[in-house]
Amino acid sequence: MAAPRLDFSHLTPDERLQLVEDLWDSLAVGTPEAVPVPEWHAREVERRLAAYRQDGNRGRPWGEVLDEIDAGLDRSQPPG
């Protein structure tokens, strides 16, 4: 017998997102081996690692990138 479907309609969108995050964390942190890694993810990691090893570019400091993103945001418009 299947378990009854849970009704989340009483939760706000923010509460639903938090629930999704909590569920994901319970898998990713509690049992990371239970979270499958798609083959294309593994290939992309290998591709990026190979590119890094080839040119040795260490990227930019996080603060610099964050400042650049922040400077490009139009705060007068809502997100989305």
Chain centroid to CA 57: how far?
A: 23
In the DSSP assignment, the letter for residue 35 is: S
Residue 61 lies in a domain: yes
Residue 43 lies in a domain: yes
In this structure, are residues 8 and 16 in contact, taking their beta carbons and an 8 Å threshold? Answer: yes
For 43, the domain range is 37-69
Residue 6 lies in a domain: no
Number of domains in the chain: 1
Residue 23 lies in a domain: no
Tens of pLDDT, residue by residue over 24-72, are: 888 888 788 888 899 999 999 999 899 889 987 778 899 999 999 999 8
Total-model pTM: 0.44
User: Letter for the amino acid at 16?
Assistant: R
Residue 54 lies in a domain: yes
